[in-house]
Copies of this chain bind each other. A is one copy, B any other.
């Protein structure tokens, strides 16, 4: 075994699945906070790749402060219009000059934001429905760690920071996470009236699960109030179907419950996101690194999106602890709930955390001792390969929100 300070203990609470009340939330990809997370992370990935291409290593940057100021829209059955554009400001630091080279950090950021929006939030016409501006200060050149094409060093922790991951997902978590993914995937493909701003709140009390969905409908594809009502019902049935694949508990799905048809107050949008009308957003205010907001579990406050994947310990440890948790549950049987916490130690390499705390609830009939060694081996191995996280973030393979 390694020298790493890995502690494996029973968790000091019941498995989330066994708690009486559970709350789970996910802000879909078109939610104003998620738009900010998505752009911040897209910009970060683009910068990292460009640095590698141009100078062979990732230079200092941090772009985790995108701010979205909502626009104003006038939706209408059959197609309304955006009245005042959304304003989005990409904020952060980036190295612009390095060994005689000039790196066009702001242009890279704008290109990345545009590509991201055009791919993920396609109903927002870039430069018309949304104005994207950028203010990237000069990063300090002496902060970078070596993370190059040819050589990779494990960076030193320069901060006391903390990451946390969980596995397996509870049924409610699975439902919320997958319903959003599939609504924004197969469902939207077939039903173009569904906007990207889908917010799901799952609440379980005992064996009763309520899923509340707020789904922005796109006016161009909704002819009238009847079509709207049908659209709402289709979403409801779809989420119900998704839910039934993940649980035998009773599930109630509610869609756009704040609607008031009498008053004509419905969730109709021009662009499929509430950012068009009154809902501002910013990075780190929505989903945690595993895609969910889970008050029943420990969460890190740190924004993961937009941070530099080479040397930001909070980002690396949040992603790594989630990876570890999933890996352990994949490979080791008998685990009902698992929490991984990684705490950095200033001045030591990040593959040697101050402590790696693994808290476990085992299945009935399984003792901690039965799984301990396997778990520790996985944790040790994942820590040894911490720079894989960085590599995968740079390649855009890991989601951060």
| A residues at B contact (CB < 8 Å) | 12-14, 19, 21, 23, 64-65, 67, 69-70, 72, 74, 81-85, 87, 89, 91-93, 96, 102-107, 110-111, 114, 126-129, 131-135, 137-140, 158, 160, 162, 164, 201, 203, 212, 257-258, 278, 280-286, 288, 293, 295-296, 298-301, 303, 341, 343, 346, 355, 357
Are A295 and B162 in contact, CB atoms less than 8 angstroms apart?
Answer: yes
Which residue of chain B lies nearest to A64 when distances are taken between CB atoms in the complex?
B280
CA distance A301 to B139 in the complex (A): 29
* Cβ contact of A13, chosen from B12, B126, B201, B278, cutoff 8 A: B12
Expressed in whole angstroms, the minimum distance between the Cβ of A11 and any Cβ of chain B is 8
CA distance A19 to B13 in the complex (A): 12
Known contacts being A13-B13, A14-B12, A301-B299, is A162 close to B110, with CB within 8 Å?
no
Known contacts being A110-B128, A132-B131, A133-B131, is A258 close to B158, with CB within 8 Å?
yes
Q: How many copies of the shown chain assemble into the complex?
A: 4
With a CB–CB cut-off of 8 A, which chain B residues contact A128?
107, 110-111, 114
**Pairs across A and B, CB under 8 Å, 6 listed:** A74-B102, A84-B104, A160-B203, A160-B212, A295-B341, A299-B299
* Most interface-central of A13, A106, A201, A296 (chain B CB within 10 A): A106
Known contacts being A70-B137, A162-B23, A282-B65, is A110 close to B85, with CB within 8 Å?
yes
Are B258 and A285 in contact, CB atoms less than 8 angstroms apart?
Answer: no
With a CB–CB cut-off of 8 A, which chain B residues contact A160?
23, 201, 203, 212
With a CB–CB cut-off of 8 A, which chain B residues contact A13?
12-13
Are A295 and B295 in contact, CB atoms less than 8 angstroms apart?
Answer: no
With a CB–CB cut-off of 8 A, which chain B residues contact A300?
295
Are B12 and A278 in contact, CB atoms less than 8 angstroms apart?
Answer: no
Are B23 and A74 in contact, CB atoms less than 8 angstroms apart?
Answer: no
Are A285 and B303 in contact, CB atoms less than 8 angstroms apart?
Answer: yes
CA distance A111 to B84 in the complex (A): 12
Expressed in whole angstroms, the minimum distance between the Cβ of A181 and any Cβ of chain B is 20
Are B92 and A280 in contact, CB atoms less than 8 angstroms apart?
Answer: yes
* Cβ contact of A139, chosen from B69, B89, B131, B278, cutoff 8 A: B278
Which residue of chain B lies nearest to A214 when distances are taken between CB atoms in the complex?
B159
Known contacts being A85-B110, A110-B85, A295-B164, is A131 close to B134, with CB within 8 Å?
yes
* Cβ contact of A104, chosen from B81, B126, B135, cutoff 8 A: B81
Are B89 and A67 in contact, CB atoms less than 8 angstroms apart?
Answer: yes
With a CB–CB cut-off of 8 A, which chain B residues contact A105?
83
Which residue of chain B lies nearest to A62 when distances are taken between CB atoms in the complex?
B280
Which residue of chain B lies nearest to A14 when distances are taken between CB atoms in the complex?
B12
CA distance A212 to B102 in the complex (A): 33
With a CB–CB cut-off of 8 A, which chain B residues contact A64?
280
Expressed in whole angstroms, the minimum distance between the Cβ of A29 and any Cβ of chain B is 18
Are B104 and A74 in contact, CB atoms less than 8 angstroms apart?
Answer: yes
With a CB–CB cut-off of 8 A, which chain B residues contact A203?
160, 343
* Most interface-central of A85, A104, A134 (chain B CB within 10 A): A104
CA distance A105 to B288 in the complex (A): 33
Known contacts being A102-B74, A104-B74, A127-B114, is A87 close to B135, with CB within 8 Å?
yes
Are A137 and B278 in contact, CB atoms less than 8 angstroms apart?
Answer: yes
Known: A83-B96, A114-B127. 15 other contacts (CB 8 A): A12-B14, A21-B357, A23-B162, A65-B281, A67-B89, A69-B135, A81-B104, A83-B103, A87-B133, A131-B131, A131-B133, A285-B285, A285-B303, A295-B300, A299-B301
